[in-house]
Amino acid sequence: MKVLKFGGTSVGSVENMSNVKSIINDGTKKVVVLSAMSGTTNQLVLISNYLASGNVKDAEVSINNLKQNYIGVIDDLLPHADLNKDVKRYVFSVFSNLTAIVSKPFSEGLGNAILAQGELLSTYMFNSYLKQEGVRAALLPALSFMCIDEFKEPDMAYIATQFEKTIKDSGDADIYITQGFICLDHVGEISNLQRGGSDYTATIIGAAIKAEEVQIWTDIDGMHNNDPRYVENTKAISHLSFDEAAELAYFGAKILHPQTVTPVRADSIPVRLKNTMMPDAHGTLISSKTSEKGVKAIAAKDNITAIKIKSARMLQAHGFLKKVFEIFETHKTAIDMITTSEVAVSLTIDDDKNLDKILGELEKIASIEVDKNQSIVCLVGHAVVNDRNTYKLFQILQDVKIRMISYGGSNNNISILINSKDKINTLQKLNTYLFERATA
């Protein structure tokens, strides 16, 4: 059985939902994971933020506006009177519940419950649409099997057992529809896998059922060799290894959630990236196989903070770096890049929520320099650090001020830290020298 995930754009209109139906309705059984309709999660985040700040009036207005949008979609999508009535009844109940909670004290759990409604709405609507079109479909509630532990990692044993039970209880069908993104936490409260988490849901399910393949369908034809938002004439990459894809996703390739390949790599379950609007295009295949050496793709990660920790007296002292790392561990802040010299260590973080607390503790043992508004540009490819053309990286960036370089920590990744204002220029230069001139 295959697992197919479709993003918000893919279910963002009646026409796109029809395209999805054509893709999945091929006579084979499959699990289909859906995101919320495009724009819905942003609106739910806005509603949640209004409630967090006590702005009940604007929250109620946003809830009503979103409800009206759904009513319009339902009328276009479901001319079948009984199905139309049933889905509207469900939608009204969802928005009535949202309206009812505006007077409740806001909490993280309440915010998570609000965000979960987008996927619940899209899957209920799409499941009804498939029934209208004569497709044998069943709706699987993700909250009955998708669970994360206290470390926010998927509880795979629980998921596999509960998913099997849930699919049996649903009855026989050709297409099993379920929600991406949402889950329960280790105490049974509604949580989520963070933005883009529907990709992660698909590969978690894929690993749980030992799927033949996991397909991620979006509005772009695979992973590109550079960011098409800033660079012209980028190309889809036909094949990536799990290691290459993981590096690109972590360092900014928006097409994939950073943890997407983690659940499936141990069982070598391939992941294929496809374009809903161009279903015949090859897309990108991610598997355990490796292909040619050298740089395959470039990605950039923004909102990076660089911290230089200087201590001429203590850096070489036994246990000093341990103390530094323990400070970040205490405040649950991950480190992306790190370099050391005789008297200083420089590192980067992408989560500055606890930055003031971290700096307060670091200043007790060293002097600190902080640079915000930084970006990590990462070059990824199999054995890239051993490729004879890697020297080009250092030639073409002679006009760009580089804050840090991470080289050799991974055979598949070279990362540089630059000021964010130089990011677009850097991506374009890299594209010209590494891809365009190489193929000219």
In a domain, 42, yes or no: yes
CATH of the domain at 63: 3.40.1160.10
Q: Give the rounded percent of residues in the chain with a pLDDT score beyond 70.
A: 98
Question: pLDDT: is 216 or 277 the higher one?
Answer: 216
**CA 167, 268, 236, 181 torsion-angle sign:** positive
**pLDDT at residue 220, rounded to an integer:** 87
Q: pTM for the full model?
A: 0.91
Q: What is the mean pLDDT of residues 199-213?
A: 97
Instruction: Provide the pLDDT confidence category of residue 315 given band limits of 50, 70 and 90.
Output: low
Task: Give yes or no for residue 350 having a pLDDT over 60.
Answer: yes
pLDDT digits (tens, 9 = 90+) for 245-296: 999 988 877 788 889 999 999 999 999 999 998 999 999 999 999 877 788 9
Beta-carbon contacts of residue 161 (< 8 Å; ≥ 6 apart):
none
In a domain, 138, yes or no: yes
Same domain, 198 and 56: yes
Asked whether residue 318 carries a pLDDT value surpassing 80, the answer given is no
Q: What is the pLDDT of residue 250?
A: 87
Q: Which of 174, 75, 194 is nearest to 131 (CA)?
A: 174
Q: Which of 187, 185, 218 is nearest to 202 (CA)?
A: 218
Would strands 338-340 and 2-6 be described as parallel, antiparallel, or unpaired?
Answer: unpaired
Q: Find the DSSP H helices in 346-389.
A: 355-362
Q: Is 37 part of a structural domain of the chain?
A: yes
Residue 270 in domain? no
Question: What does DSSP say about strands 297-310 and 284-287: parallel, antiparallel, or unpaired?
Answer: unpaired
In this structure, the answer to whether residues 212 and 302 fall within a common structural domain is no
| pLDDT tens string 112-144 | 999 999 999 999 999 999 999 999 999 999 999
**What are 150-175's pLDDT values in tens digits?**
999 999 999 999 999 999 999 999 99
For 315-330, what is the mean pLDDT?
Answer: 85
Overall domain count for the chain: 2
Closest-CA residue to 119 (of 185, 202, 55): 202
